[in-house]
Structure formats: C-alpha cells, structure tokens
Amino acid sequence: MNSNYYDQNSPYTSLERQSLYQILCAAMIIDGERDPRELALISKFNRILGITAADIEASRRLTEQEMTRCLRNMDIAKKAYLGKFVAQVILADGKITSMEERFFYYMKQKLELPDVD
C-alpha cells in the first residue's frame, strides 16, 4: 500500500500519528516491561490509526512539548479514542501497576482527555 494513502485518508495528521505512537509506547513501558500482548496491540493500533514507518521514525524526534501541544489540540472525539487506546495498552498484560495508573491519570489531565466508558 502506498505510504501516502494514510496521509490522504486518515483523520489524523502526521504529527498526531507520531504523537499518538509515542504515547502508546510510553504506556507500554511505564511498568518497566514490554509485554508481547502490548506490542501486538500497538501494532494493531498502528494499522487502525494509519501510523506508518515514516511516522514512527519521525516520532523519535518530537519533543514532549510538541507532542503535548499536538494531542491537547485534537478534537474531543480523537482525544476520547486516545484515552481508550492508552487504557487498552495498559490493560493488555493483564495487570495494572500503580505507575501505570498514575501515568494514565497524568496523561488524562495533561492532555485534557474526556471521561469515557
């Protein structure tokens, strides 16, 4: 598939995809482990969100301020999905550590994520 396909058809901008990828990776490693179930889920989300190899590479150059500003400025629907995706990555290994819980609530506040079920 052409890598420009998602740039033209994804509801997410390239900067949003890069920032989303970094947040999902942070959610995966916050407990100090890289569980295969978390990795598989992030790969699935990459396909759903249209995150390309170029997005992943570019995401490594983003600053925390750039990611925060980008994600905070997304519309409410995108933020709701971000919250759900982060929660699913945290839950993927079958346990929730206190560090993961603190990370989730910190991101929720910092990025102004809406409450979702």
Q: What is the pLDDT of residues 48-89, one digit of tens each?
A: 999 999 999 999 999 999 999 999 999 999 999 999 999 999
Q: What is the pLDDT of residues 30-57, one digit of tens each?
A: 999 999 999 999 999 999 999 999 999 9
Domain ranges, ordered by start, for the chain: 12-110
Nearest-angstrom CA–CA distance, 69 and 31: 25
Return the CATH fold of 12-110. TerB-like (1.10.3680)
Written as one string, the DSSP assignment of 41-86 is HHHHHHHHHT--HHHHHHHTT--HHHHHHHHHTS-HHHHHHHHHHH
Reply yes or no on whether the pLDDT at 1 is more than 80. Answer: no
56 burial via Cβ count (<10 Å: 0-12, 13-18, 19+): middle
